[in-house]
Amino acid sequence: MKILVAEDQEPSGLALRKTLENLGHEAVVVASGAEAWERIVAEDWRMVITDWMMPHLDGPELCRRIRNREDAPYVYIILLTGRDGRNDRLQGLAAGADDFLTKPVDRDELSVRLAIARRILGVQAELEEKNARLAELVTTDPLTGLANRRRLREVLQTTTLLSGRKSQPCSVVILDIDHFKSINDNFGHAAGDATLKSIAEILKVETRRSDLPVRYGGEEFVILMPATDEDEAFTVAERLRETISVKTQPSQPVTASFGIATCALAQGLGIDALLDAADQALYRSKERGRNCVTHFRELSQV
C-alpha cells in the first residue's frame, strides 16, 4: 500500500518509513502538514499517516482540509499522537481522522491498523466503482451505447460556457433517420433497432475524439462539436450523411437528414435555443427532400 507520512521530526519520520517498508508498504515522508496537503491535492493518495503536532498546519487541520475536498476519492487517515485522553480522541475524530496511533509507534499495532485500513479502502474502492457504473448507466442509452439526452445537457452547458469565455465556436448537429417508421412497419422493430445501432457505430467511428455523439430520442441523434465553426461542422455532417447513405440494411437503404447550429452565429443563445436552432435547420432539410445537410445560417439567407 502506498502511504503518505507527515512528520516534522526527522528521526521519527525515518523510523516510521523503515517500519512501513519492512511491513511491505511504500512510504513517502514529508516534513510538514503543508507539504503533505500540497502532495494530496496534486497526487492520488488514499492512505495518510500524520503527526498531530506540527507547525503551521497540524494534523487535525490537515484532516479537516482532506475531508472538506469535494469530488475527491476517500482518504484513510491515521493520526499519530502522544495524547491518549478521551477529549483528544474526540477532537481528532471530529476533525476527520479514521484511527489513532500513540507514539512511539508499536510495529505490531501498526500492522493491524493498516490491515483494517486496507479492508476499508477496498470496500470504498468497490463502492466507488459501483457508483461510477451507475452514473454511466444513468447517462448512457442502453440500445446504442451512446450518451443520452441527460448527458448531452450536462456537457453542453459546460461546453457553451467555455466556448463563450474562450471566444471559440461550438456546433451542434441533429440528424434524423429518414422514413424510420417504414422500417419498423415493414420489417419489424428488430430491423429498426439494428438500424439505430448501425447509425450509432458510424457516429462513434466517424466523429472526432472531442465530439460527443448522443442518442437524443427515437430515431434522432445529436453530435456536440466543441471548438468547431459552421464550415467544419458542415463538412463533418456531410461526411456522415454520405457514409450513412452507403450503409444499407438487408431490407432497404438508409439515409438521414441533418441540421446544424453554431454558437458563434448567435452569441447568448441558451442550450434550448441552440438545440432549437439546429432542429429548425433539420426541418428545412426535410422540406428539401431529406438526405441532405442544412445549417441554421441558411435559414436567415432565404
Q: How far is CA 99 from CA 58, 82, 113, 285, in A?
A: 16, 14, 8, 65
Determine contact, residues 256/198, Cβ cutoff 8 Å. no
Point out the catalytic residue in the list 61, 109, 219, 232.
219
Determine contact, residues 294/258, Cβ cutoff 8 Å. yes
Any catalytic annotation for residue 70?
Answer: no
Residue 54's contacts (CB-CB under 8 Å, 6 or more residues apart) are: 6, 7, 8, 32, 33
Query: Hey, what's the cell of 119?
Result: 479492508
**DSSP code for 124:** H
Q: How far apart are CA 148 and CA 216, in angstroms?
A: 6
Residues belonging to the active site? 219
